[in-house]
Amino acid sequence: MTIENNNKISINIRTNYLANKSEPENKRYVFSYTITIKNAGNNSARLLSRYWKITGGNGTEQEVEGDGVIGQHPYLAPEQEFTYTSAAMLDTPVGMMQGHYTMIDDDGGRFDVDIPAFTLAVPQTLH
């Protein structure tokens, strides 16, 4: 899934179920997600923070917010991209994540890059 917003920051998301880290018998389902953030605009920007809402298949919600991503604050000049991988854990085999990045451009303008909901699912769980 690729998303682009008004500030020309595009987000590409790939998810993967980590069977070797999961314990379905204990309601522990671990997923990795790899996100590529690309600056398709004309102005440079730095990622300041992230916010995620992670929703399990039973409706339970977790909120995660913090400084940067994986301990970094990537600075993206026009046409540059940054890719990182992180993980999320659910207590159900299907769930979703959504959120936003807060960024700042070289003029000091802050803006959010919304990330619409994307699915985390154990393979062959959804039809």
CATH number of the domain enclosing 90: 2.60.40.1470
Q: Name 77's Cβ contacts closer than 8 Å, sequence gap at least 6.
A: 39, 44
Tell me the whole-structure pTM to 2 decimals. Answer: 0.89
Domain count for the chain: 1
The answer to whether residue 125 is domain-embedded is no
| Model confidence pLDDT, tens digit, residues 51-95 | 999 999 999 999 999 999 999 999 999 999 999 999 999 999 999
The Cα 37–Cα 43 span in angstroms is 14
| Segments forming the whole domain that contains residue 104 | 2-115
Q: Give tens-digit pLDDT for 23-49.
A: 999 999 999 999 999 999 999 999 999
Q: Does the residue 41 lie in any domain? A: yes
Q: Quick check: is 121 in a domain? A: no
Tell me whether residue 8 is in a domain.
yes
